[in-house]
Each structure stands twice: as C-alpha cells, then as structure tokens.
Structure 1
Amino acid sequence: MPPVSRSASQPDLTALFTSVQQHFLNVIVPLWQGPGWNVDMALPYEALDAGHQPLPPQRYRAMACARQLYLFASLIGQVPKAEERAAALFRSLQRHFHDAEHGGWFYSIDPHGAPLDQRKDLYTHAFILFACAHYWNKVREPLVESVLNAALEVIARRFATGDGLYEACLDRDWATLETGPLQNPLMHLAEAFLATLSVREDLAVQRALVELCTAMQKRFIDPQHSVLMEKPLGAVDNWFEPGHQFEWYFLLESSDLLRGSKLHASLERAFAFTEQLGVDQQTGAVRAMLDLGPDGGLRDATQRIWAQAEYLRALTLRPNSEAPVLRQLQALQQRSLHAGGWYECRDEHGEVSRLDMPSTTPYHLATCYAGLAEYLR
C-alpha cells in the first residue's frame, strides 16, 4: 500500500476515530445482538425504527444475513459472543436460503421462512462469498470453506458470461432473465474475490478478478470522464454514483494485484471529477446519483450513510490526506451518527429523511472503520 502523509493533527484524528469506534461497538453492534435479532428465525430483522423496535417483517434477505455474518465474523475476539452469533448466521444462511434442488441461494424468504423471491442474483452470491471468506479466516472450519467453494463454483458456472463479466440476476432454475451485467453486483463480486485472495492462494479467483476488472474498463468506463457507469456503455438511461466510484477506488488502490491496472488508472483520473460533482464542499455530503448526458447534473441528491463511509474510506488512500480524512470523519460523526444509532439518509436540504436503521448498514461502517484503523496504524 502506498505511504500516506501524517501531520500534527493526527492526535485529533486518533481521538475522533476512537470515539466513533466506541460508538460502533457500544451502540450500533448491540442493536443487532438484542432488538435486531429474531431469536425464532435466528436471523436479523431487516430494520429497526428510531426507538429500536423491529419494523414489521415483510421478508428476510440472504444478502442481509451474509452482511451480518461478515459483521460478527469481523468482531470475533473483540465483542463477547460474536463467534456464537456468526455461527448462528452461517447456519441460517444455509438453512433458510440454500436451494437444495437447483443449487445457489434464494434472494429472500417470507416472514414465516418460506421462499419468497426465489431468483438467484449475483449481488447476494457475492456477499455470501465475501462473508464466508472472512468467517473462514477466523474459524478455519472445513464446512465454511466448502460453502465458500460452492459459492465460487456457482458464480463461475452459472453467472459468468464468458467475457469477464457476469449476469446480474437469473431465475431460480438458472434460466436467463436477460438482465445482463450491472455495475453494483460486479463491484461486490470484485470485493468478494479480493476477500478470498486475502485468506488463501487461488489462481482461478485471481484470474477471474483480473478478467473482471479488464472487462469493467472496457464496458463500463465513460471514455470522457473515466467514471464507472451503473450500466454498460450504450445502455438507455445510464448514470453514475459517486459512492460507488469511491468504493471501487478503495478496492483497486488497496490491492497490490489491481493497483496499476487500467481500471485503477481510470478511477484515479476520475477522483477529483467525482469529488467536484458528487460531494458538497461545505458539508462533505456525498450525492447519490449523477447524469453524464448533454445536460449533465444531479439525478438524486439523497445523502446516504454508506456513501459517506465509502468516501471517507477512499480518502485514507489519497496523498496528503490527513486534513480531508479528519474533516470527513467529523462530518460522518456529526451528520450520520447519533446517541441511539445512525441516520440512514438525509435529503437534498440536509434534513433526515429516513429514521429506520437497516441491518445491512453496519457492514459499510465496519469496512470503513477497518480502513481507518489501517490508515492510523
């Protein structure tokens, strides 16, 4: 990883990071050990309200279960009973969502545990791979590695399109739904491949990751501004999301394998442009969606906590970064965190627009704080 600069303000940054990390461990994580946990289903509720009560469940998603598996796997050795919770989540992933007939994992089940949306989506499978890689690294249980291998196998055999990319969604029996590739699932697949390579040598995964990034450069990078579009180039009604630019930048910049690739060079070139259009310079708020059409401009000004976290994490890998990192961490603490948890979204005027707290958000905070901890180390 390239060296980062340090200055006299590091004690301020260290103290602030200690504060937000304690908030995470003492406020946010206990929400998902207590009121956010459905004991009968052994699954996290999808979301809690501002008073820490579960929203009436409409569904449970495999992706949400996998993100919480990552969360508690990452906390093993730090938080009491994290290992027991991770084990329960791993069992629930297999018990509730695995498709014994066709292989792979369902998207969701209903509140009573019956399969609901039985399609197979890449986003879900990428998170299952990501979570199992982290969990296996902590426990080294053969069953966990066998599920990791099963996820890799089904992604390669069912989702791959043969050109380095992957279908976003398939039917339950793997029949095509003509979705084609989409940016966000592919980014999380790259993240999952990187997680796998961080815990074991795997030449097939390494090759698939390089081919994926090569194809992303060819099919998704806007040639004028070097930003990654959400759909392949030429698709109708395309756009880009600053939060995803920053997320990709972190993945590429932090990887010895991917740093120096053409895709990395594109995201490097696009960083200042993304900041200029996508970040409010006064508040540090990251805007949700932007157009690159002839008119250009803002498509959605919602300020989401996950995008704030991804921008902050990306800044830790920028040169001369200490002042921007400190400023953005202050913005995250002041605008997104509160005594009872966090604000998921603010609107274009900066007003809180969602009071619920989804079970999927702690994943973004955990990865952001891990990046900060590495930066301060």
Structure 2
Amino acid sequence: MLSVSRSASQPELTALFASVQQHFEDVIVPLWQGPGWNADMALPYEALDAEHQPLPPQRYRAMACARQLYLFSSLIGQVPAAEERAAALFRSLQQHFHDAEHGGWFYSIDAQGAPLDQRKDLYTHAFILFACAHYWDKVREPLVESVLNAALQVIAQRFATDDGLYEACLERDWSSLHSGPLQNPLMHLAEAFLATLSVREDAGAEDALLKLCTAMQEQFVDPQTRVLLEKPLGAVDNWFEPGHQFEWYFLLESSPLLRGSQLHESLDRAFALTERLGVDEHSGAVLAMLDLQDGGRAKDSTQRIWAQAEYLRALTLRPHSEAPVLRQLQALQQRFLHVGGWFECRDEAGEVSRKDMPSTTPYHLATCYRGLVEYLR
C-alpha cells in the first residue's frame, strides 16, 4: 500500500507492519468496496456484522461519509478504483447532506435518504473540512476546494465563539442549543485545520488553530495533572479519555506550528500519567474513560480499537520508542485484527464485546498506519 524503508536494526517491526498493512489493503478496505457499500445510495453502510453483512440501516451520517472520503482519498494511486470511490463519496456528501436552505450539512439522513437529524454539529463539519482538504490535495478540482472553503466559512461564522472555541451543536437554522464547547469536536477541528494547512497556505485557518489551542489550554486542561478533560473546567461529571490524550499529543507533536505551545507542553507532561492510569501494563489495552476526581479510576474500562490505534500512533513520536511501538503494534494485531476484519471493542476482562465493524473505524487505522510509515521511514 505504502512504501516503507527502514534500517536492518528493526526487522521484526518492519515485517510486522508489512503484515498489518497488507491486512488493511487485502481485508479491511475491500469490505467497504463491496459489502459495506450501498450502491443505490452511493453511501457506506454504517456497519457490517461479523459475517460481512450490512446491519439493517437506520440512518446514514455525513460524518461517516466524510471519514470514508478521507479513507479513499488517502488510497488514490495505491488501491484500484479508490479515486472513483472518493469521487462518489464527495458527490454523496453534497447530494444527501448539504442543506441548501440554511447552509452547512445535516447530521444524518434516514434509510430512504430523507433528512433525519437536521441539527448542525461541529464534529461533522470538522470531518467534512478534514476530508475535503485531503481529497482536494489529490485531485485539485475547483469544486472540491469550494466545498473546503464553504466548510471553513460556516465553521467560522456559525460555530465560533468569542473566546477561540466553538459550539458543539446548533439547530438546523443555526439557532443556539446552548451546547457549549466539547473536547472531541474541537480536537477534530484542530485536525481539520492542520489538514488544510498541509495542502495550502491559509492565514485564517492558521490563526483559528492557534486561538483554538490557546483556548483549549485555558479552558480544558487540568492545571495540576495537565490532562485534557472532555468538558470545560468546572463542568459537572467531567472525565478524560486516554485515547483522546494520545490523539491530541500526536497532532501537537507532529505539527511544527503547534510543537512548543503551552497545550503541547501540557500533553507532553501528562503523557506518562496517561499511560500509567489508562494503559494496562500487561495487555497494553487502552481504557476508555477515567475519572480525574477519583484519582484516575476507570469510569469505563472498555478497550476500543480506535484508542489502541491512537496510542500506537502517539508512541511513534516519543523518544526511545522502538520497543513500545513494537509491543503496541503486536497488541493491536493480536487483540483487535482478525482474518475477517477487526474487533471494535473488548470489555474489562478482555472478551470481545462488539463484533460489528463500523464504517468509521478504518479512518483511525489509516491515520495510525500513516504515522507508522513516517516512523519507519
């Protein structure tokens, strides 16, 4: 899929990654070219069961369409028909989800294609921006850049607040739902701004990204531990997620613009604590949710493949990382990948607790493997 070169000092890691990467190309990607693709709707099904049959569709989400647009954009030139699939996904994003009356994109449509949840959420818009940036980088079509620009504009004009943050969710007509800011959509917005800056110069996106990271440091980072919480400081029932800590760390550490910022310094300082509290030392499993007020006790011990992938990707940017990267790649392969695809979740005891395969997960694997390619290069 992607060419990898590495000195002979790490033959075991190189061979293991080649095997995992081949599994991605030969098993996972074809799931979404074949049984996971609804040709009538030109959309991916939300999930496949363990036998590769689509789960009965209840809805289709714009975010899932955008994640698959990123997936197939990243495979253009490497996987047959990737460019055609990316083009179909881009058209479907506009056809099914764009709100011609109010602007922006609906959250979801129903199984017949009618608007379902018509609210406008930041998480969805961040992924549309992220996917369009990557797709435009591959095809350089003016229409794609116009959608990228429209996403940037609606995010700035509709979601932005005066303090550098953004509302998590608004009504269809952009009226307030008083949702306030939430960590996860803001992280993916930072990711989308970084994707935009990776494909073109954009002073507006750069300024917004820097203000966002400053506001995250001020309003989401616990001043004692430096961990980044899921809700703003002072919110009731707050918690933190190791997977998101690792995801933020990768974004900050990998960006020359953000490396050295206060937010980067916080996530760097909190990395060891996050590992100690949030990663099982025996299995390498990443726990889902921790309660900072209770000394880091687990609120949810579910082990999810996406968090495993984000921890592995983050480790590629840590010092003295050869042994930990190898150990975590082995954990990912042995605990989550299988001959027919992947296991989405394991429970606290390590038993498989979710056997369906969501269309959104290959995005995490693709970004993780891209980080490994850079590491091995």
TM-score (norm 1): 0.98
1:105-159 CA deviation, whole Å, 9 max, x = no partner? Answer: 0000000000000000000000000000000000000000000000000000000
Partner of 1:333 in structure 2?
A: 333
CA distance in 2, matches of 1:226, 1:181: 19
Give the Å deviation of 1:247: 0.0
CA distance in 1, matches of 2:97, 2:123: 14
1:244-277 CA deviation, whole Å, 9 max, x = no partner? Answer: 0000000000000000000000000000000000
Aligned pairs (5 A) from 1:128-143: 128-143=128-143
- The unaligned stretches of length 5 or more in structure 1 are 1-5
> For the Cα contact (< 8 Å) 1:312–1:329, is it kept in 2?
yes
- SS of 2:331's equivalent in the other structure is helix
CA distance in 2, matches of 1:72, 1:8: 32
> For the Cα contact (< 8 Å) 2:121–2:170, is it kept in 1?
yes
CA distance in 2, matches of 1:7, 1:32: 34
> For the Cα contact (< 8 Å) 1:291–1:298, is it kept in 2?
yes
CA distance in 1, matches of 2:213, 2:266: 11
Partner of 1:160 in structure 2?
A: 160
Partner of 2:262 in structure 1?
A: 262
Partner of 2:204 in structure 1?
A: 204
Partner of 2:240 in structure 1?
A: 240
Partner of 2:67 in structure 1?
A: 67
Aligned pairs (5 A) from 1:145-294: 145-294=145-294
> For the Cα contact (< 8 Å) 1:43–1:92, is it kept in 2?
yes
Percent of matched pairs sharing the same residue: 84
Partner of 1:29 in structure 2?
A: 29
Partner of 1:99 in structure 2?
A: 99
Partner of 1:3 in structure 2?
A: none
Aligned pairs (5 A) from 1:310-329: 310-329=310-329
Pair 326,9 (structure 1): closer, same or farther in 2 beyond 3 Å:
farther
The answer to whether the aligner puts 1:372 opposite 2:364 as a matched pair is no
1:25-53 CA deviation, whole Å, 9 max, x = no partner? Answer: 00000000000000000000000000000
- SS of 1:288's equivalent in the other structure is strand
CA distance in 1, matches of 2:198, 2:292: 35
Residue identity in the other structure for 1:171:
E
Residue identity in the other structure for 2:299:
R
CA distance in 1, matches of 2:294, 2:20: 41
Residue identity in the other structure for 2:374:
E
Give the Å deviation of 1:314: 0.1
Residue identity in the other structure for 1:284:
G
Residue identity in the other structure for 1:91:
R
Partner of 1:127 in structure 2?
A: 127
1:139-196 CA deviation, whole Å, 9 max, x = no partner? Answer: 0000000000000000000000011100000000000000000000000000000000
Give the Å deviation of 1:9: 5.0
Question: Runs ≥4 in structure 1, deviation > 6 angstroms?
Answer: none
Residue identity in the other structure for 1:122:
L
Query: How large is the Cα RMSD of the aligned pairs?
Result: 0.9
Residue identity in the other structure for 1:169:
C
- The unaligned stretches of length 5 or more in structure 2 are 1-5
Residue identity in the other structure for 1:367:
T
- SS of 2:195's equivalent in the other structure is helix
- SS of 2:298's equivalent in the other structure is strand
- SS of 1:240's equivalent in the other structure is coil
- SS of 1:302's equivalent in the other structure is strand
> For the Cα contact (< 8 Å) 1:7–1:322, is it kept in 2?
no
Partner of 2:3 in structure 1?
A: none
> For the Cα contact (< 8 Å) 2:277–2:296, is it kept in 1?
no
CA distance in 2, matches of 1:304, 1:355: 12
TM-score (norm 2): 0.98
The answer to whether the aligner puts 1:11 opposite 2:11 as a matched pair is yes
Residue identity in the other structure for 1:249:
Y
- SS of 2:290's equivalent in the other structure is strand
Give the Å deviation of 1:347: 0.1
